[in-house]
Structure 1
Amino acid sequence: MKKKILYVEDDTTLAFLTADNLEQEYEVVHYDNGKEAFDAFTEQDFDLCVLDVMLPQMDGFELATAIRERDVEVPIIFLSAKTLKEDRIKGLRLGADDYLVKPYSMEELTLKIEVFLQRSQKQSKQKNSKYTIGNFAFDAVNYTITHNGKTTQLTERESALLQLFIENKNIVLKREQILKSIWGTDDYFMGRSMDVFISRLRKIFKADERIRIENIPRVGFKLVAP
């Protein structure tokens, strides 16, 4: 699933070029004024915000302040023609993660977006380390899964695999998607290891008939759970 970016820019030409580039990798929701962008932020979930500073109705600094009052973690990148050091410092003090001066390169912007998304995802995983699935309690940090007082020790890879399934519960995951996420490659031998791990997880979940890892032929797997 593509990460969702809130992009706010009132320069029509620049907005079209930037959004067109970003949409190759991300879902981009564009607004040309701060007020509409903030209304959207209150109604939708975004993984990252890219904000121009000079905006109508609500400027980028005001928009970032309002966003931070609702969400202290979502990454924010400012894009601005304002080159003064004071403006950059103001933006960072408001809680922005970075401040790029126009004209910026798409390569640099894309790289920064990817870095902040990865950091945000890592922090989220560290924070959300304990899960409940059916009658099971899963601790992703200590690699354990507990059912009716009985605790089973998982390997690090089994734990990472289970966490990926739980975070995408009831969603089909492609084989290559799982392999690249957990093993970093989708070659044949890693695929065999994954099949062994999935088999072990299936045995563990036999204790709760509501939970199953379905094989989707020629596609991948889906964790079905309440």
Structure 2
Amino acid sequence: MPTILLIEDEAALGMIVKDSLEMRGFTVQYAEDGEEGLRLFRAALPDIVVADVMMPRLDGFSLAERIRAENQTVPIIFLTARSQTADVVRGFELGGNDYLKKPFSMDELIVRIKALLGRQPAAPEAPAGPLPIGRYRFDYPKQRLHLDSHAADLSNREAELLKRLYDQRNQVLERTVVLRELWGDDSFFNGRSLDVFITRLRRHVKDDPQVQIINIRGIGYKLVV
């Protein structure tokens, strides 16, 4: 079963979440602060990280920065009571994959964990070889984007989003459809998360001017090659 690194400084909440996840078959490594969480991350190499934002010694955002400096692909879910748009956007810009506001239900957390681990039944099948996107070659199964001798590692959600854009290339990928498939719903905060990931994908393909990700206002996005 997948290994989850759970980092939560509220010990009572942390143990409830840990026990609930283990009852559902997950292996859980638990830490009560960011520094211990970083140590466990390096030791356990978890499949996914679930981290509180407001923590002693090393907060969740700083922890995400440290993790992303070492690993670009492991999914990160933030848990927080803070819901300001600026905090949400900052979390995604620092490499987070999802954002769950406290209080939350365990069923919602598990759905989001499974989605990030690639278990959603609607996920597209892996192609046989690298996909051509202008001068780029997109290795979807390995979540890597190649340009000449350079390769960039994509996060799970970046790869899933780019695959959907590729499948709909030169056509409009509807915003509501991709939000429901990858985020679970088309809420405001998830919409802001999608905007951040589109910005990150544009940075990944900026070295080929023939490749563009265009915003179709009020509808969605189009990958133009």
Residue of structure 1 in register with 2:44 after alignment: 44
In structure 1, distance between residues paired with 2:12 and 2:102: 14
**Map 1:62-211 → 2, pairs under 5 A:** 62-118=62-118, 126-127=141-142
Please give the alpha-carbon distance, in whole angstroms, between the structure 2 residues aligned to 1:126 and 1:35.
32
Which is bigger in relative contact order (C-alpha 8 A, separation at least 6)? Answer: 2
Give the alignment's Cα RMSD to 1 decimal.
2.3
Q: Provide the rounded CA distance (Å) in 2 between the counterparts of 1:17 and 1:28.
A: 12
Residue type of the alignment partner of 1:107: D
Tell me the secondary structure at the aligned position of residue 74 of structure 2. Answer: coil
Q: Matched residues, percent identical?
A: 39
For the residue of structure 1 that corresponds to 2:117, the secondary structure is helix
Deviations 1:192-225 (A, max 9, x none): xxxxxxxxxxxxxxxxxxxxxxxxxxxxxxxxxx
The SS at the match of 2:88 is helix
Aligned positions, number: 127
TM-score if structure 2 supplies the norm length? 0.53
Question: Which deviations, in whole Å up to 9, do the C-alpha atoms of 1:96-134 show, x marking residues without a partner?
Answer: 111111001111100000011126998898229xxxxxx
1:4 aligns with 2:19: no
TM-score by length of 1: 0.53
> Structure 1: which 5+ residue stretches go unaligned?
129-226
Conservation of the 8 A alpha-carbon contact between 2:29 and 2:40 = no
CA distance in 2, matches of 1:15, 1:61: 18
Unaligned runs of 5+ residues in structure 2 are 127-138, 144-225
Secondary structure of 1:50's partner? Answer: strand
SS at match of 1:72: coil
User: What SS does the corresponding residue of 2:96 show, helix, strand or coil?
Assistant: coil
Runs of 4+ residues over 4 Å off in structure 1: 119-125
Do the aligned partners of residues 87 and 11 (structure 1) sit closer, same or farther apart at CA in structure 2, a change above 3 Å counting? same
Equivalent residue for 1:18?
17
- Name the structure 1 match of 2:33: 33
Look up the SS of the partner of 2:46 in the other structure. Answer: coil
Deviations 1:36-75 (A, max 9, x none): 1101212221100000001110000000000011000000
